[in-house]
Chain A
C-alpha cells in the first residue's frame, strides 16, 4: 500500500477502479439517454413472449422529453447506434473490472461484508450515522461502510449484469445463440420489462450515490475517484 502523501490523506481507489468508474459512468449515462429514446418508439411494457399494440401492456410509459434522450430529438436509428455501441463499452468494461477486481483482491478486501456487519444493531447504528452525515468509520477510514458495500455489490453483481443479460435477451440473433437466456427471463417482452426496471434501479442508485457524494464532501470524494487520494474527514490536514 503506498504511504499517504500527507497526513490525513489515504490512498483509497486503485487505477483499475477509477478507470472503470468513469468509463462506466459515461456508458450508463449514454445508455440511459439512448434507452429512453428507444423507449419512445414503443412506450409500452408487457410480460411474456410477445406484446404489441393489441395486447395488454402492464405499463404504458410516458413519452420521455427530448432533453432526457439521446439524440435530443426523436431518432430511433441513432438512439440504437448510441445504445448498441455503449452496450459493448459497458459490457466489456464490466467484464474487465470483474477480472481485475478478483485479481487485485479489490472485491475480497473492500466489498466483502465482515462478521457482525450485517447484525441488526450494527446496521441500525450505520443508518443512524448516515442520518447524521457521518459516513466513515473513524477507526478504519479506508473502509467502506456496510451500506456502501451492500449497495456497491448490488450494482456490481446485480443490476449491471442484469442490465447486460436482459439486453442480450432482446436480440433475436442472440436468442438463437443462447435460447436459455430467453427462458431465464420468461420471454422477450418480460426481458424488455426487466431491462427497463433494471435501468430504473441504476438511476435510483446513481441519484442516491450523487447525493451522498455531495453530502460527504463533493470535492474530496470526486478527487479520490480521480487521483485515488482521499482526505479523512475531520482531519486537520488541509
Chain B
C-alpha cells in the first residue's frame, strides 16, 4: 500500500513536470506565464527610485579578468575595415525621433562630459564580473540630439550578426536617462577590447548583460518597438523569449 502510494507520488511528480511543457504550448497559459515580466517590471518600478543607482565598487574589487560573452568579434568585412583603421572611421549615428540627427566619432564621445563607474555585469546565465567603464551618458547624447515628444524607446543597432541575424536591443526612457546609462568606450582604463564590444557598447546597469548592446553602430529613438526585428525589442527577446525587461 505504502509502496504503491510512493510510486504514484513520484509518477505524479514526473507527470506534473512534463505537464509544465504542455502548458507552455497553450497560448492562454503562455500569456499568463509571460505576464510575469510585466508584473516584475511594475513592482521594480514601484519600489525603485527612477534614479536609484546600481551598486558601484572599488577599483580593487574588480574581476581579475572580465569575461566576454556572446559575439567576440563581429567578423564582417565592414567591421574588419573599421577595426583595421583603429575605429577612426567609425561613426555612431543617432537618429529616429530626434530634432538633430547626430553622427559621432570616438573623439566626439570622448569630448562629452564623461562618467566612469566600477559596476557589476550580471549575465542571464548567472555569472557576474566587475569592471570599470567610461563614456558619456546616453542621456546627454539624447539631449544633444533633441528627443521628440513621441519617442518612447531607444533602439541600439549593432555591427554583429548573431546566428545570422543582426543583434539589437532597446530600453525605455527611464533607463535611457538613468545617470549610470553610458555609451562606454573604455573598460578598465583601456579602449574596449574587440571581445567586449569595441569601439563602444551600452551600459544599462540595472539590467542583465544581454541588454548591454556591444559594437554599437546606431541609436534610434522610436515611438514603438513594432516593426523592428520581430517587435519584441531585442535579438534574444525576438529569438528565444528572453524578457525585454531584464532587471531580474
Contacts and interface: CB of A to CB of B under 8 A. Distances in A.
B162 interface: no
A177 B248 contact: no
B243 interface: yes
B85 interface: no
Contacts, number: 149
B20 A70 contact: yes
A138 interface: no
A132 interface: no
Given A82-B33, A210-B9, A49 B52 contact: no
Nearest to A55: B63
A128 B222 CA distance: 71
Interface in A136-187: 170-179, 182
Given A77-B242, A172-B206, A41 B126 contact: yes
A81 B20 contact: no
Nearest to B175: A173
A70 B17 contact: yes
Given A81-B34, A174-B44, A51 B127 contact: yes
A192 B127 CA distance: 9
A25 B188 CA distance: 46
Contact of B241 (A68, A81, A171, A177): A81
Interface stretch (B54-62, B75-83, B98-106, B190-198): B54-62
A72 B15 CA distance: 11
A58 interface: no
B97 interface: no
A173 to B, nearest CB: 3
A71 B247 contact: no
A38 interface: yes
A39 B126 contact: yes
Interface in B1-50: 2, 5-6, 9, 13-14, 16-18, 20-21, 24, 32-37, 39-40, 44, 47-49
Nearest to B124: A76
B63 A52 contact: yes
Interface size class of B (residues with CB under 8 A): 35 or more
Interface in B118-147: 120, 122-130
B241 A50 contact: no
* Of B44, B57, B123, most A-chain CB atoms within 10 Å: B44
B248 A76 contact: no
Nearest to A178: B47
A44 B18 CA distance: 26
B24 A71 contact: yes
A210 B9 CA distance: 10
Given A49-B130, A172-B247, A84 B125 contact: no
B40 A84 contact: yes
Contacts of B57: 49
A12 interface: no
Given A39-B126, A52-B127, A84 B248 contact: yes
A198 to B, nearest CB: 16
Contacts of B13: 29
A231 interface: no
A224 to B, nearest CB: 16
Contacts of B2: 214, 218
B9 to A, nearest CB: 7
B64 interface: yes
Given A51-B127, A54-B65, A171-B247, A30 B20 contact: yes
A88 to B, nearest CB: 6
Q: Which 7 A-B pairs have the closest CB atoms?
A: A173-B247, A85-B36, A42-B126, A52-B127, A177-B48, A171-B248, A41-B125
9 contacts: A42-B125, A49-B61, A52-B129, A77-B243, A84-B248, A85-B33, A173-B206, A173-B207, A177-B44
Interface of B: 2, 5-6, 9, 13-14, 16-18, 20-21, 24, 32-37, 39-40, 44, 47-49, 52-55, 57, 61-65, 67, 120, 122-130, 205-208, 236, 240-243, 247-248
Given A29-B13, A42-B126, A170-B248, 9 more contacts: A50-B128, A77-B243, A80-B243, A81-B241, A84-B36, A84-B40, A171-B247, A172-B247, A174-B47
